[in-house]
Structure 1
């Protein structure tokens, strides 16, 4: 399966973001797969000396297994561009836009991709009045894996208006995105790049034990049931795949991406909304992209290889930088 000759791949993982532990799990799985494919692997738990360590390692390509800031927001991508090192997943411009939920809306909605309305609010405002009629959702503007998401309902134990000392993301973030709550079902669709271009891998429904699909449900075994492929009408499957593929292309994603949805099944096609597009989906044993790839006939090691080969292709095409972002 490996390219010839084998590559020296640095797997960049860990770091200091909220998603550090997930990144370490993703990186370990990727490193094992790369070694199985015959490549030479150096794993780096990212610290502030990351540029020096990369310069010393002299890799052919970096597999970016970081999640969250600064590995997913364009910071690491810009550094690698300046160093002239090939790397997996999306480039600087795409990463800056896709991690920012408001910028993502500005890119996708004009291209016919439905997303919830809403607005940015200062956390201080929440202690005076609700920004939207309840129920509504509050989420950080630029965090992944549903970190810091809160659903505010009439029954929420946070007060009305929200009490200043109530536990929630308003204590951690100065600004939050407020969106109307969309009732219904959690769906997700992955896209993978290959020599023949990007293609959607399928749709998974996420059925949780209680609450909503937050960080704990994503990465705690037994908290979420994955139904893959999702048992939904064919037209909804097709629409999810269409929106996921369009988001991948419009944002300029590379390697792989995963687009998350809420679907109000009482409203049919009009009830389907994109929540976000993740440019660096998890690669852990519980992660959705490897699961969807497996159902599409692509094993984990092959998936990793496809992502690496796309990184090499993009680097050669762009003359040493991830410069082909479409965003």
Structure 2
């Protein structure tokens, strides 16, 4: 069976730019190619001419390697505002009208022009669950300009919670999964149940490689981590303690809202191999499975593709490509 249409997802992170190419093979989408490069400006906002030129050069290089008419690029969650709303079952016209008025809430907190969109997350017995998103208009226009100058015709700009949930849906995951993204441009928790987003929340924390090294040193020098975690979080440094508390609050909120359902597993993305230092602490504190690096296997990957390094570096890029 020959490969047909291709789909390209680009995760434009502050540290790395990751790209994933998916193709149709028969009735399935499979991961054909993955690519990673440094982000030369160290940011996801590029309003200055030199910054735009640097990002344009990176995207042009990706376009040369993976030309595609189905390109989706991610917008950092730090640049977006999210609202989860529940609406009654309505006809198509009434639903659009209701969503329009819900969108107006963004104008009370955003001080500039913005572009908004929505996704119907789930149709329940008597209601719709809807995710609303707004991003400042100038940021959207910068992304479109730079992508176009690099030779891309964008199919869409997308957000990370939706992209990450798509990967779990493609994996046919039915468990309740918490995706914890600790990249500097996102820092959020997305809870996914049976492939559908239930809840997402930005983490108001200061977490960086220094924090990761601190916890790595603590784990390396303490042979009895179980006793430490059983006695509370006092043994952790303040930044790491805040991280654990924010995650715990998010999990507790989900449990209350979902009538005592628990998190079945955690997928940890965002800081490459450094995240391995977090695994033992999260596993013991939350008493659940934690996936990092090569422990997470993609079921829809070409047999000829070998992933060097951290499999989860490409998690979001694959999710963006799946939108195609």
The two structures have a TM-score, normalised by structure 1, of 0.30
Structure whose residues are more often helix by fraction: 2
Which has a greater percent of strand? 2
What TM-score comes out, normalization by structure 2 length? 0.30
